[in-house]
Amino acid sequence: MADPRVEKLASILVRHSLGVRKGDTVLISSSTELAKPLVLEVFREVLKAGGHPLTSIGFEETSNIFFDMAKKEQVAFFPKTKLFEAKNIDCFVNIRASANKKALSNVDPRVVGDRSKVLRPISEEIVNRKRWVLCNFPTNGLAQEADMGLEEYEDFVYSATNIDWNRVRRKEMKLKAALDRAKEVRIAGKDTDLKIGIAGRKSIPCYGERNMPDGEVFLSPIEDSAEGHIYYEMPAIYQGREVTGIRLRFKGGKVVEASADKNEDFLIAMLDTDKGARFLGELGVGVNYGIRKFTKDILFDEKIGGTVHLAVGRSYEEAGGKNVSAIHWDMIKDLRKGGAIYLDGKAIQKNGRFLI
C-alpha cells in the first residue's frame, strides 16, 4: 500500500501544480530510481486526469561516468531527440531523489558548465514554454544533507508540501502588489547594502505551481541596475559544490568583485561561465515561515520566511527578465537578525517580519 502522504503529494502535483487536462502529454522525470514510489503515483494521477504519462528515469552514477570519460566532442554533443521530446510535451514533473548530493563534487566545473551550455536549448524550452514542477522525494541522501534521519525528513518534506496552496496564494498577493508599485529594492543587513532596480518588472507569487514546496514572490531585476555589496551567511550550493562566506560587489548590474571563504575558485568559474553569469536573473523574497531550518537544499531554503535570495545568471521571461546564461544559481541572504527590505526608501520588512 502506498504512503497516503505520497498519494496526496502526487495529486497536488498533477491537479494543482500542473493542472493536467485530458489529452496532455506529461513527462515524469527523475535522475534516480529512488523516486519510484512518487513516480508511480504521479503516473496514476496523470491517467486519472486523462493525460498521457511518459517516464524518464536515470541512474545517478551516469553523470559521474560521463564527466569522467567523455571526450571534448562528446561533451559538445547535442541530443536532438531530447529537444524533440521537450517540444512535444505539455507538462514536465522533475522529481529529485538523490542518493548523494555531492556526487559531482570532484568534477571539473568548467566541463559541467560547458555541458550546461550545450543543453541550454532543451532546458529553456521547458522552463520558458511548458507547465513544469520540481519537487523532492525523501531519500537517505537528502535527509543526511539536511542533518535529519529519514523519518524526520519525510515529516519535514510532507508538512511543507501537503498544505492548502490557495491560502498561501492569498497571503502572497499583498507582497506582489507592493513590489509591482515599486521602482527600487534596497536590501540591508550584515555586510550588505544593495540596491536593485525593478521598475516595470512583474513580480510573481509562487504557491505550488512550479516548485514544491513553495512560498516566495520573485521577479527578474533590471539587468544593469544592481549597485552595492552583499554577504551571504548561508552556504550556496551548486552542482554539488558548497561555497561558504560569499561576498559579491555589483556595479552597473555586474558582479565586479567576488570572494568566498570556501571554494572560491568554483564560485569564480561559475561566474565566468558566460557573459550573463555575472548579472542577476532573479530576486526572490521567502515567505514560508513554516520552513525554519536551513537544509542545504535551495528548493526549501529559498522559501524560508525572513530571507531573500538573489540568483546570478538566467532570468525569467515571464518576469520581464532579459538576461541569458547557462547557469541560474540562487544565493540566500538571512534578514532575520538585523536585516531589512526597503521599497523606494520605505521599509516593508525588518528582522524578517513584514510591515505590510
Q: Considering 93, 127, 161, which residue would you say is the last residue of a domain?
A: 161
Beta bridge partners of 255: 250
pLDDT (0 to 100) of residue 52: 98
Mean pLDDT, residues 137-151? 92
> 120 with 228, same domain?
no
Mean pLDDT, residues 293-312? 92
Q: Is the pLDDT of residue 326 over 80?
A: yes
What is the b/e burial string over 272-284, where b = at least 16 CB atoms within 10 angstroms of the residue's CB?
Answer: ebbebbbbbbbbb
More confident residue, 99 or 202: 202
Q: Using N-to-C axis directions, what is the helix angle for 109-129 and 61-69, rounded to 10°?
A: 130
CATH code for position 156: 3.40.1830.10
Average per-residue pLDDT in the chain?
A: 93
pLDDT (0 to 100) of residue 256: 98
> 205 with 94, same domain?
no
Best CA proximity match to 102, nearest among 263, 264, 277, 314: 263
Domain that holds residue 85: 4-161
> 80 with 173, same domain?
no
> 195 with 92, same domain?
no
Indicate left, alpha or beta for 316 from its phi (over 0: left) and psi (-120 to 50: alpha): beta
> 243 with 144, same domain?
no
**What is the rounded CA–CA span in Å between residue 347 and residue 356?**
9
More confident residue, 280 or 128: 280
Mean pLDDT, residues 150-171? 90
Q: Is the pLDDT of residue 104 over 80?
A: no
**What is the rounded CA–CA span in Å between residue 347 and residue 302?**
21
Mean pLDDT, residues 171-184? 96
> 207 with 243, same domain?
yes
Mean pLDDT, residues 81-98? 94
Q: Is the pLDDT of residue 38 over 80?
A: yes
Q: 249-300: per-residue pLDDT in tens?
A: 999 999 999 999 999 999 999 999 999 999 999 999 999 888 888 888 888 9
Mean pLDDT, residues 34-51? 97
pLDDT (0 to 100) of residue 297: 86
> 203 with 348, same domain?
yes
**% of the chain beyond a pLDDT of 70:** 99
The 3 state secondary structure assigned to 99-157 is: CCCCCCCCCCHHHHHHHHHHHHHHHHHHHHHCEEEEEECCCHHHHHHCCCCHHHHHHHH
pLDDT (0 to 100) of residue 167: 84
Grid coordinates belonging to 58? 536515470
Best CA proximity match to 215, nearest among 150, 162, 287: 287
Mean pLDDT, residues 180-194? 97
Best CA proximity match to 201, nearest among 190, 189, 185: 185
Q: Considering 129, 161, 193, which residue would you say is the last residue of a domain?
A: 161
Q: 194-218: per-residue pLDDT in tens?
A: 999 999 999 999 999 989 999 999 9
Helices marked H in the chain — which ranges?
4-11, 36-48, 61-69, 72-75, 80-87, 109-129, 140-145, 150-161, 165-181, 264-271, 298-301
What is the count of structural domains for the chain? Answer: 2
**% of the chain beyond a pLDDT of 90:** 77
> 209 with 77, same domain?
no
Q: Considering 100, 133, 161, which residue would you say is the last residue of a domain?
A: 161
Q: 284-293: per-residue pLDDT in tens?
A: 999 988 888 8
pLDDT band at 353 (very low <50, low <70, confident <90, very high): very high
> 208 with 339, same domain?
yes
> 197 with 156, same domain?
no
CA-atom Rg of the chain in angstroms: 20
**Strand ranges of the sheet holding 25-30, from the earlier edge strand across to the other edge:** 52-57, 25-30, 91-96, 131-136, 211-212
pLDDT band at 236 (very low <50, low <70, confident <90, very high): very high
> 276 with 307, same domain?
yes
> 184 with 98, same domain?
no
Distance of CA 34 to the CA centre of its chain: 21
